[in-house]
Structure 1
Amino acid sequence: MPLGAEPRPAGTPRIVGIVWGLLILNTLGSAGAVTIIPLPRSLIQLVTMGALAAAFALALAVNLRLHIRATAFVFLLTLLLVPSVISSAHLESGFGALFRCARLALFVGTLWLLSRWWDGGLTFVRHHIRMYFAVLGSVAAGAVISPGAALPELYGGRLVGALWPLTPPQIGQYAAVIIGLTVLLVLGRRTDRAGAAVVIVPSLVLLVLTHTRTATLGLFIGLALALGSLVLTSGAARRFFAWAVLCAAVATVGFGSALQAWFLRGQSQEYLSSLTGRAKVWDALLAAPRSTSEQLFGVGLGDKSFGGLPIDNSWLAVYHEQGLVGIAIVAAIIIVLGGVALLRPPSLPRACAIFLISYCAIASYTEAGLGDASPYLLHLALAASLLAAPAAVAPLPTPEVPRRRIPRWARDREVT
Structure 2
Amino acid sequence: MGVDRTSRIVGTVWGLLVLNTLGSAGAQTIVPLPRSLIQMVTMGALVAAFALALAINLRLRIRAGAFLFWLTLLLVPSVISSADLESGFGALFRCARLALFVGTLWLLSRWWDGGLTFVRHHIRMYYAVLGSVAAGLVISPGAALPELYGGRLVGALWPLTPPQIGQYAAVIIGLTVLLVLGRRTDRASAAVVIVPSLVLLALTHTRTATLGLLIGLVLAIGSLVLTSAAARRFFAWAVLCATVAAVAFSSALQAWFLRGQSQENFSNLTGRAKVWEALLAAPRSTTEKLFGVGLGDKSFGGLPIDNSWLAVYQEQGLTGVVLVAAVIIVLGGVALLRPPSLQRACAIFLISYCAIASYTEAGLGDASPYLLHLAVAASLLAAPAAATPLPTPDAPRRHVPRWARRSEVT
Give the shorter-chain TM-score range. over 0.9
Partner of 2:348: 354
Supply the AA of the counterpart residue of 1:268. Answer: S
Query: Offset of 1:357 from its aligned partner?
Result: 0.2
State which of 360, 374, 378 in structure 2 corresponds to 1:384. 378
Supply the AA of the counterpart residue of 1:160. Answer: V
State which of 235, 238, 245 in structure 2 corresponds to 1:244. 238
State which of 136, 141, 148 in structure 1 corresponds to 2:142. 148
Supply the AA of the counterpart residue of 1:237. Answer: A
Partner of 1:90: 84
Supply the AA of the counterpart residue of 1:323. Answer: G
| 3-state SS of 2:325 partner | helix
| 3-state SS of 2:191 partner | helix
State which of 358, 362, 382 in structure 2 corresponds to 1:364. 358
Query: Offset of 1:57 from its aligned partner?
Result: 0.1
Partner of 1:335: 329
State which of 229, 234, 238 in structure 2 corresponds to 1:235. 229
- In 1, Cα distance between the equivalents of 2:137 and 2:158? 11
> Residue deviations 1:362-390, cap 9 Å, x none?
00000000000000000000000000010
For residues 46-57 of structure 1, what are the structure 2 equivalents within 5 Å?
A: 46-57=40-51
Supply the AA of the counterpart residue of 1:102. Answer: A
Q: Give the alignment's TM-score, normalised by structure 1.
A: 0.93
Supply the AA of the counterpart residue of 1:120. Answer: G
Partner of 1:178: 172
> Residue deviations 1:317-346, cap 9 Å, x none?
000000000000000000000000000000
Supply the AA of the counterpart residue of 1:75. Answer: F
- In 2, Cα distance between the equivalents of 1:133 and 1:15? 18
Query: Offset of 1:14 from its aligned partner?
Result: 1.6
- In 2, Cα distance between the equivalents of 1:74 and 1:396? 32
Partner of 1:58: 52
The question of 1:191 aligning with 2:185 is answered yes
Query: Offset of 1:204 from its aligned partner?
Result: 0.1
- In 2, Cα distance between the equivalents of 1:259 and 1:301? 38
Partner of 1:410: none
State which of 95, 99, 109 in structure 2 corresponds to 1:101. 95
- In 1, Cα distance between the equivalents of 2:191 and 2:224? 21
For residues 130-149 of structure 1, what are the structure 2 equivalents within 5 Å?
A: 130-149=124-143
| 3-state SS of 1:15 partner | helix
Query: Offset of 1:396 from its aligned partner?
Result: 3.3
How many residues are paired up? 395
- In 2, Cα distance between the equivalents of 1:341 and 1:401? 43
Query: Offset of 1:298 from its aligned partner?
Result: 0.1
Runs of at least 5 residues in structure 2 that lack an aligned partner in the other structure: 400-410
Query: Offset of 1:398 from its aligned partner?
Result: 5.5
Supply the AA of the counterpart residue of 1:299. Answer: V
For residues 246-261 of structure 1, what are the structure 2 equivalents within 5 Å?
A: 246-261=240-255
| 3-state SS of 1:13 partner | helix
State which of 301, 313, 320 in structure 2 corresponds to 1:307. 301
Q: Percent identity between the aligned chains?
A: 88
For residues 38-53 of structure 1, what are the structure 2 equivalents within 5 Å?
A: 38-53=32-47
Query: Offset of 1:61 from its aligned partner?
Result: 0.1
Supply the AA of the counterpart residue of 2:209. Answer: A
Query: Offset of 1:395 from its aligned partner?
Result: 2.0
Partner of 1:169: 163
Supply the AA of the counterpart residue of 1:90. Answer: D
Query: Offset of 1:394 from its aligned partner?
Result: 1.3
| 3-state SS of 1:207 partner | helix
Q: Give the alignment's TM-score, normalised by structure 2.
A: 0.95
Query: Offset of 1:130 from its aligned partner?
Result: 0.3
* Residue 81 to residue 144, structure 1, CA distance change in 2 (3 Å): same
- In 1, Cα distance between the equivalents of 2:8 and 2:370? 24
- In 2, Cα distance between the equivalents of 1:295 and 1:394? 49
Supply the AA of the counterpart residue of 2:320. Answer: G
- In 1, Cα distance between the equivalents of 2:174 and 2:7? 26
- In 2, Cα distance between the equivalents of 1:249 and 1:398? 60
The question of 1:32 aligning with 2:4 is answered no
- In 2, Cα distance between the equivalents of 1:171 and 1:10? 33
Partner of 1:282: 276
- In 1, Cα distance between the equivalents of 2:45 and 2:30? 23
Supply the AA of the counterpart residue of 1:41. Answer: R
Supply the AA of the counterpart residue of 1:200. Answer: I
- In 2, Cα distance between the equivalents of 1:254 and 1:125? 35
Moved over 3 A (4+): 9-12, 396-403
Query: Offset of 1:13 from its aligned partner?
Result: 2.5
- In 2, Cα distance between the equivalents of 1:402 and 1:84? 54
The question of 1:216 aligning with 2:210 is answered yes
| 3-state SS of 2:312 partner | helix
- In 1, Cα distance between the equivalents of 2:7 and 2:186? 24
> Residue deviations 1:20-60, cap 9 Å, x none?
11000000000000000000000000000000000000000
Supply the AA of the counterpart residue of 1:292. Answer: T
- In 1, Cα distance between the equivalents of 2:22 and 2:7? 24
Partner of 1:18: 12
